[in-house]
Structure 1
Amino acid sequence: MRYQVGGSLKYDDSTYIVRQADEQLYTRLKTGDFCYVCNSHQTGKSSLLHQTIHRLEKENYICVYLNSVLLGTNQITPIQWYKGIIVSLFHKLNLTERVNFGSWWEQQSELDPVQKLYQFVEQVLLREFQNNRILIFIDNINSLLSLNFPVNDFFIWIRYCYEQQAHNPSSQRLGFALFGVASPSNLITDRYGNPFKIGKAIKLCDFQLHEAIPLLEGLEEVVTQPQAILQYIIHWTRGQPFLTQKLCQLVVQVALESYKGAITIPNGTEGYWIEQLVRSRIIQHWEFQDEPEHLRTIRDRLLFDEYKAGKLLNVYQQVLQVEELKNRNPIENLIPADNSEEQIELLLSGLVENCNGYLRVKNPIYRSVFNPQWVSRQLENLPFS
């Protein structure tokens, strides 16, 4: 069995873990809801996206995948960006033989970019596919934040598509699902045209132990007490998808390197064995061992903007301090989640999570790497702290 550390899993990959979000996204899209999955890096968003596309395509839905990273950079103009979306839809739906794109595009020359997109969907997309529902999946929507022009009109158009459904039956055949590392409040500032207010946020939770059972197959091949080993892996990762797959892979790797493919672990020592593996292969010298990159991604997100870094680190420092005191006064010292800009950024980094309305460090690995000493060093190095 092969564990995949990073990247999107194929729909038939045996290590794909089905979570509650799978059924929620699938069901909501079928009922016609606008859906979005906003979560931190390497939590399985793209894998969920492709799994859902596969399920829906088997039921004769037309699904189009767009990666917003490929639609343009910060140097692109609005007309180029919107044309990129239209051209992508045109080719992915194999409309070349049905529609003369050049002629159609010329006819829209007087329209604004977003109006061209609207006309394409109304005049071409929905007319050419009258017997199917069309679902547009847009990945990496966080890349829209790097464009040098606002994309409010794009999100307003998405909301308009849903509002049209009440009196335009053809609009009922069109749906959207957005995925990325961004908060809706950062993507659009127009509160009246905001599609996220009428949409369904799909919460992508980390693996629970019972959900992660498919990962046992690879462990059973190389280690005794695989159930106990998986349990301690989940203890250290708290089910964070990237780290869970990585630790499973490390168990197999160590077995092949040092134990000729089979590790015998005495009963009762599984926890100690996994702890030593975590500390030696992940935590110690983490900046050099972090391949594929994961912990450095979190670090860079925290420190990227020197003006904001101090605020983020101060909030995180408070979370760490609270956890040190939690045994003395476990309730009063907790930090409530308040949707402030700093807290949203911390949540998107993946370093902390909202647990029943309060912030906490997501797992013991993060707590060991991004510890109080690390935070203090970063604060001392900041020019604006």
Structure 2
Amino acid sequence: MTQLTYTVGGNVDSTTSLYVERSADEELLRLCREGQFAFMLTSRQMGKSSMMDYTARRLEAEGVRTVRISLERIGTQGVTPEQWYLGLAVEIQDQLGLATDALDYWEEQAHLSLTQRLSNYLERIVLAETEGRIVIFIDEIDTTLSLDFSCDDFFAAIRMLYNLRGQRPQLRRLGFVLIGVATPNDLIADEKRTPFNIGQRVELGDFSRQEATTLEAGLGADAGRLMDRILHWTDGHPFLTLRLCDSLADHQPDHTADTEPRERVDTAVADLFFDQQAGQDLNLEFVKDMLTRRLPGGVPPEEILLTYQRVLQDRAPEPDEARSPIKNHLKLSGVVKRDGPNLRVRNRIYHKTFDDPWIKQRLPVKALWQQIWRRLTTTLAPVAVVASLLFLVLAMATGWLAWDATTAKKEADQQRALAEAAEQEAKQAQREAVEARGRPHRLYEYQRPAGGLFPEPLCRRCASCCASGAPSGNHGRRDRAPERT
């Protein structure tokens, strides 16, 4: 007998790996049997593709034909609308083994629109050349968001095929299941054309304690106690639970035989998620990107973090709102999940990794002030709020007055300094004038202009002294002997 193992990441093959059946498995199988349109739109690494494969094998065992298309196979870069639609038809032909060549049919219908060609192909070729029910699974539907063209017509065509069942009974044999990481509004916003308001949503939840019992087969001794502690950390998140199980199964040396299950699990959690290796964990990286980079259009980045912070702090219930793009994005990231009518952090690993300090490091300053104000107004009584506001206004007014007084003092000091400097300059000029009058002057030949105070010729003096008209002891006629200086 082949020993089953754990598959971490990628599709779980139920024939070689441990596969956990959930209530969603039975719901999806029922919808496919009835030929309903169903969709699974949820976070990454929740087991969507594995459930698709598991359900398809069960349907095929019952005689239902299935087609499993991964849109990643068709691609997005440089793909034209015609290549994309034709790629779907070729995948369907190959997997069902149809006689009619998809490419030939496509070229014959070139006069029709792409959507009409695909719809006619499904009705006139696929249903005509097969018997019984057919279920077409389309995985990675979120890749349509990366195309250079809109896929609204594609989704509208699925809706049309479903609505035509009353007129064309053969269409009841055809069912669709769309799978991906997106919200219905991300894929198509037009409510009149979207198929998601007439389809059945399959909610993919975490493993319950009873469901996780399947995984105990690979844990060896103390499997039950180990699983209890694993779920304590993961709360049944499929990827995180499988990764821990795989790590514990691979590390069972003899010396751990006496180690308590709690200690073994806690050590594995710390090694895988809380030290430097945590940066290599694809699931944690995806959640971080969804919280900080891959944001819904038209939503301020800080609103994502602030809303998540309210859920994290759990001071008051944070209700889930189906039409809230912020809360739908948080659920799509996987960091929160619905618990009754409210939201809560999905598990303890997320709670410890994306904690309050982590949020504050990524919030802009403006958002931090808004957060303080929100906390002030929600946690204090109204009277206390008013008192706080008055205190804030008083503090601002006091600060303004203090600033104004300081400014006035600086201006007065500047004026006083200027006045003192001017006074010093005046005193210096006065001293220089006094010293100039007390000094003898050299005589030189000088003719005063007519009307001067002294007869001509006058003494030879400096122009400044003569110009003043104030004679000194050295003034006299030319015949006076000049004083020697």
Contact 2:86 2:103 (8 Å CA) reproduced: no
1:374 matched to 2:358? The reply is yes
Contact 1:11 1:54 in 2 (8 A): no
Structure 1: runs of 5+ lacking an equivalent: 326-332
Cα shift at 1:74: 4.4
The answer to whether the aligner puts 1:346 opposite 2:330 as a matched pair is: yes
Whole-Å separation in 2 of the counterparts to 1:345 and 1:16: 28
Partner of 1:41: 44
1:164-221, Cα deviation, whole Å (9 max, x unpaired):
111212111110011111111111122122211111101111001111111111111x
Indicate the residue corresponding to 1:57 in structure 2: 60
1:57 aligned partner, one-letter code: E
Q: For 2:261 and 2:103, locate their aligned partners in 1 and report how far apart those are by CA, in whole Å.
A: 65
Bigger RCO (CA 8 Å, 6+ sep): 1
Match in the other structure for 2:106? 105
Aligned-residue Cα RMSD (Å) equals: 2.0
Q: Secondary structure at the match of 2:128?
A: helix
Among 68, 79, 83, the residue aligned to 2:71: 68
Please tell me whether the aligned partners of residues 90 and 103 of structure 2 are also in contact (alpha carbons under 8 angstroms): no
Instruction: Sort the Cα spacing of 1:102 and 1:226 in 2 relative to 1 into closer, same or farther, 3 A.
Output: closer
In structure 2, what is the Cα distance between the partners aligned to 1:5 and 1:103? 42
- Change beyond 3 A, Cα 1:13–1:200: farther
**Residues in 2 aligned to 1:346 and 1:13: alpha-carbon distance in whole angstroms:** 34
Q: Residue 8 of structure 2 corresponds to which residue in structure 1? A: 5
Does residue 277 (structure 1) correspond to residue 268 (structure 2)? The answer is: yes
* Residues 1:309 and 2:301 aligned together: yes
How far apart, in 2, do the equivalents of 1:303 and 1:162 lie?
A: 38
Provide the C-alpha distance between the structure 1 equivalents of 2:203 and 2:16, rounded to a whole number of angstroms.
22
Partner of 2:234: 237
Percent identity between matched residues is: 35
Structure 1 residue 65 displacement after superposition? 0.6
Question: Among 83, 86, 104, which residue is 1:83 paired with?
Answer: 86
Task: Give the number of the structure whose alpha-carbon radius of gyration is greater.
Answer: 2
Shift in Å, 1:379: 1.9
Is 2:341 aligned against 1:360? no
Determine the structure 2 residue equivalent to 1:337: 320
TM-score by length of 2: 0.71
Question: Which amino acid in 1 is paired with 2:181?
Answer: V
Q: Residue type of the partner of 1:284?
A: D
1:329 corresponds in structure 2 to none
Query: Offset at 1:14?
Result: 4.0
Label 1:167 to 1:212 Cα distance change in 2 as closer, same or farther (>3 A). same
Determine if the alignment matches structure 1 residue 300 to structure 2 residue 295: no
Aligned equivalents of 1:181, 1:382: Cα separation in 2: 31
Contact 1:286 1:369 in 2 (8 A): no
SS at match of 1:282: helix
- Separation (CA, whole Å) in 1 of partners of 2:325 and 2:227: 36
- TM-score, with structure 1 as normaliser: 0.89
- Rounded to whole Å, the distance in 2 between the matches of 1:356 and 1:136 is 33
Unaligned runs of 5+ in 2: 371-485
Residue 313 of structure 2, aligned match among 290, 299, 321: 321
Q: In the alignment, which of 4, 26, 31 is matched to residue 29 of structure 2?
A: 26
Count of matched residue pairs: 361
Q: CA separation of 1:36/1:168 partners in 2, compared to 1, >3 Å: closer, same or farther?
A: same
Q: 1:289 to 1:116 in 2, by over 3 A?
A: closer
SS at match of 1:197: coil
Kindly state the Cα deviation for residue 284 of structure 1 after the two structures are TM-superposed: 2.1
CA contact (8 A) 2:272 2:278 kept: no
Shift of 1:156: 0.9
Task: Assess, with a 3 A threshold, how the Cα gap between structure 1 residues 207 and 119 changes in structure 2: closer, same or farther.
Answer: same
